[in-house]
Amino acid sequence: MVNMDNKDDLLKWLEKLKNAQKPIVVEGINDRSALVNIGIDPSLIIILDRPLFAVAERVAKMTKEVIILTDLDKAGKKLFITLKQDLTRLGVRIDSKYRTDLFRLSKLSHIEGIDTYFSKL
């Protein structure tokens, strides 16, 4: 169930994410689809479709700042930490505020459910 107190904050979060115009790294194709369904530009979404170091190198060639939206399960947290370390080492700044705020404001644990979650707001 969506906490109605957080509804406005979540909608503001989504607007900020749409307007951020920064690449967003997600774990898989279902995460990408869910973000596209809530209005995120598909050209900004990067899927972890190869080894992390290879994704980090690709991202570092593209941008100096990125948003990482991995799941909040054990595997997603581990991916976030490793990817953040790899990207930081390559000089890419991580904007982790979006991930932190999303999981603070919602009961989501997996990004692939974000479109369903927002449709119920």
CATH architecture of 4-119: 3-Layer(aba) Sandwich (3.40)
pLDDT digits (tens, 9 = 90+) for 65-114: 999 999 999 999 999 999 999 999 999 999 999 999 999 999 999 999 99
pLDDT digits (tens, 9 = 90+) for 26-58: 999 999 999 999 999 999 999 999 999 999 999
- pTM here? 0.94
Domain regions of the chain by residue span: 4-119
What contacts 111, CB < 8 A, 6 or more positions away?
26, 27, 31, 34, 35, 69, 70, 71
Structure tokens at 111: 């990004």
At residue 6, does pLDDT exceed 90? no
